[in-house]
Structure 1
Amino acid sequence: MRVYCNACGSKGKISGSPRFSGDISKHYCDCLNVECGHRWVATLAYSHTLRKPTTSVDQRLLERLSQLPKDSQVRLIEQLEAMQPGPDHHQVIAPQLSLLHHTA
């Protein structure tokens, strides 16, 4: 992101950006014109979405997995099940496995 000094119009640099909240950040800026030396704080806020993401990470991952051969899918599912702690891990993995079998 480029910032410009509102005192002299020269380029500035952001020297720090602590997050104010989830959608707002403050940027501490320094003018790069040594003769000016202006320092200021600029606020950047999220406004709105212009285009929504096409797919979620989970959807993209399932699409990629469905393109794998069945034996590779089964091997990956088994590896995921081995990583899941506790007795309820089949509740997480089993639905994903059925999705893969229906899409491939």
Structure 2
Amino acid sequence: MQIRCRECEGRAIITTTNRLSNEFTRLYCACRTAECGHNFVMQLSYSHPLRLPSSKLDQQLVNQLRELPPERLEALLDALRQAR
């Protein structure tokens, strides 16, 4: 992620982060332009997913299915075939 200084449009770096939740973080930034040196705080927030569900959830489901006894797995597959 590239951070730009609001005052001079120069490059800035993130010096510290303060994660307040899974969806909100404060970024403490400093401008790298020597003549400016502006320090500021930006806020980073989660907006929305681009793909549902997460691939991680897919893998968790596969792992749970592998643990099912064969007869329960077959019954589940039959139910899925009928739902089509």
What is the root-mean-square deviation in Å for CA atoms of aligned residues? Answer: 2.5
Give the unaligned 5+ runs of structure 2: 75-84
More helix by percentage: 1
Residue ranges of structure 1 left out of the alignment (5+ in a row): 67-95
Percent identity over paired residues? 30
**Cα distance in structure 2, aligned partners of 1:7 and 1:30:** 11
CA distance in 1 between counterparts of 2:33 and 2:13 reads 10
Give the TM-score, by structure 2 length: 0.69
Once the two structures are TM-superposed, the CA of residue 34 in structure 1 deviates from its matched residue by: 1.0
Superposition TM-score, scaled by structure 1 size: 0.57
Q: Which moved more, 1:53-62 or 1:2-11?
A: 53-62
Residue 18 of structure 2 aligns to a residue whose secondary structure is coil
What is the letter of the counterpart of residue 9 of structure 1?
E
Q: Where does structure 1 differ by over 6 angstroms across 4 or more consecutive aligned residues?
A: none
**1:33 paired residue number:** 33
1:98 to 2:69 alignment: yes
